Amino acid sequence: MSSPTGVRAQTPDAVAKRLLRASASHSFDPDTDIDWDAPLENGKWFWPPERLSLYATPMWDRMDERQRIELSRQEMASYMSMSIWNELHVLRMFSHYVGTQDPTDSRTHYALTELADETRHMKMMARLLATYNCPVYRYPPLLRRLLPLTPFAFQDLTTFALVLVIEELQDPVQRESMRDERLQSVMRQVCRIHVTEEARHVSFARAELRAAVERASRRRLAVHRELTAISAGLGVSALLDPRVYRAAGLDTAAALRQRRDNPYFRKSMLDSGKKVVDFLTEVGMITPLQHHWWRRANLIA
């Protein structure tokens, strides 16, 4: 399948070899590459305020600066917690994928490299939560029961599609965060590492997904479109735990109503999801038949 510009996309093997070279020359060790002893800076945020779910709502207008910053800490904690569980899920999916591949192949070698990256990222985000004394949020019970079963059902198509959803959805806000001097220092450093290494993961997943779509039958593709859409609809909806509002001293029911009706938050979600939705539509993993699930995830208007 050609890219939108008409230039033939690189083969998965060529992409994997390029990414292996990049990983060898430009990877991070969060234990030593982050200044974990950087002091907590009074008045600084933990997440960009414009990306918070209640930004510019009536509830936001009534909050003082201290409470707004606390909301940013809680929302960051929810996103980072869910990133840990998402990356644990990527480990499961990739482990299953690697078990079906030739261990001498460069694509398998890069998949193993990505497994190592994700293990470091999980530890990095867990240490971030500990550094800022944040609560750990968890997926709802239904998702926790379903996730261990999914690698066997997802196979290559849904595995790589969901890797893209997981990685690309938070890429825009993390790119903003790593440059935003209003944010805490450790937060910016974590985002810088995550953005740099996840860019390689996105390149690998895109190449593998293109190849998987090209060899898939129409029936198999239809099944995995639905699996991907349902998983995105359920998973993305769980990224921001409702308990963040109570933890920030807010009325949960009122906060959820204002979040639902907040045009700024809807636009933030649509902007964050645009690249991955456009790509999945381009390669044939999203059709109008799945739009209701993607709309549930606030990734399609």
At 8 the pLDDT is: 58
Contact status, residue 286 vs residue 280, Cβ threshold 8 Å: yes
Strand, helix or coil at 8?
strand
Which pLDDT score, from 0 to 100, does residue 228 have?
Answer: 97
Q: Identify the pLDDT of residue 7.
A: 44
CB count within 10 Å of CB 242 equals 15
Separation of alpha carbons 285 and 210, rounded Å: 10
The per-residue pLDDT for 4 is 46
pLDDT along the chain (301 residues), means of 10: 52 97 97 97 98 99 98 99 94 90 96 97 98 96 84 89 95 98 98 98 98 97 97 94 98 98 97 98 98 96 93
User: Taking the domains of the chain in order of start, what are their residue ranges?
Assistant: 12-31+43-296
Beta-sheet strands, E only, within 173-247: none
Q: State residue 36's pLDDT score.
A: 98
pLDDT at 151: 76
What's the count of helices (H) and strands (E) in the chain, helices before strands? 14, 0
Measured in whole angstroms, how far is the alpha carbon of residue 111 from the centre of its chain? 18
Is-contact 48 182, C-beta < 8 A? yes
CB-CB contact of 161 with 224 (8 Å): yes
Query: Topology of 12-31+43-296 in CATH?
Result: Ribonucleotide Reductase, subunit A (1.10.620)
d(Cα 264, Cα 117) in Å, to the nearest integer?
A: 33
Give CA–CA dist 194/176, Å, rounded.
Answer: 12
pLDDT number for residue 42: 96
| Cα(185)–Cα(129) distance, integer angstroms | 14
Distance CA 70, CA 268 (A): 20
Whole-angstrom CA distances from 195 to 27, 117, 132, 178, 199 are: 11, 12, 20, 9, 6
Look at residue 271 in the predicted model and tell me its pLDDT: 97
